[in-house]
């Protein structure tokens, strides 16, 4: 999940240092939060705060990881349960119910994918977005 191609500021291969790992984690978390924040702003249509999006991305990633660890081995059902748990975290953090939470998650996934594509197209980074499943 935390994969880093050659960094613009660090020539050579992927960073294996603690500082590099922390940098990748923070950038991934922020990209995930941008997606969630954008989705929440579009769907809920009110100021939802970026801090809440960061918290949601972080907790959502932890919940996804725990559910996937324990249930991910079950074909088809495991990933669906992990996705439902992630949407549940969004539902817990934002008003509007399960449909709104699922829509926020879909918008978040799309926004994170577009940001990652733009970064890759610029040749800067290749990241996975922490807090957004499958990106």
Residue 45 falls inside a structural domain = yes
In this structure, is residue 93 part of a structural domain? yes
In this prediction the pTM is 0.78
Distance CA 73, CA 71 (A): 5
For 57-90, the pLDDT digits (tens) are: 999 999 998 999 999 889 999 999 999 999 999 9
Domain containing 54 equals: 18-121
Is 12 a domain residue? no
Q: For residue 9, is it within any domain?
A: no
Calpha distance 112→132 (Å, rounded):
7
Domain annotation covers residue 2: no
Distances (CA, A) of 49 to 19, 32, 52, 93: 28, 14, 6, 11
- Total structural domains within the chain: 1
Instruction: For residues 7 and 20, give the distance between their C-alpha atoms in angstroms, rounded to a whole number.
Output: 9
Q: What is the pLDDT of residues 16-68, one digit of tens each?
A: 677 877 887 888 899 999 999 999 999 998 878 999 999 999 999 999 989 99
Q: Indicate if the pLDDT at residue 125 is higher than 60.
A: yes
Q: Please answer whether residues 48 and 36 qualify as being in contact, where contact means their C-beta atoms are separated by less than 8 angstroms.
A: no
Is residue 79 a part of any domain in this protein? yes
Please indicate, yes or no, if residue 66 is contained in any of the structural domains: yes
- Whether residue 105 lies inside any domain: the answer is yes
């Amino acid at each position: 999940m935390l994969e880093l191609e050659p960094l613009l500021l660090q020539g050579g291969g992927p960073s294996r240092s603690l500082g590099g790992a922390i940098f990748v984690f923070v950038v991934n978390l922020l990209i995930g939060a941008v997606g969630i924040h954008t989705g929440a702003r579009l769907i809920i249509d009110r100021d939802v705060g970026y801090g809440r999006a960061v918290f949601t991305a972080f907790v959502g990633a932890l919940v996804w990881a725990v559910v996937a660890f324990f249930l991910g081995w079950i074909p088809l059902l495991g990933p669906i349960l992990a996705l439902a748990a992630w949407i549940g975290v969004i539902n817990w953090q934002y008003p509007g119910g399960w449909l709104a939470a699922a829509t926020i998650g879909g918008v978040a996934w799309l926004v994170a994918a577009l940001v990652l594509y733009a970064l890759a197209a610029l040749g800067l980074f290749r990241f996975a977005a922490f807090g957004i499943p499958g990106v």
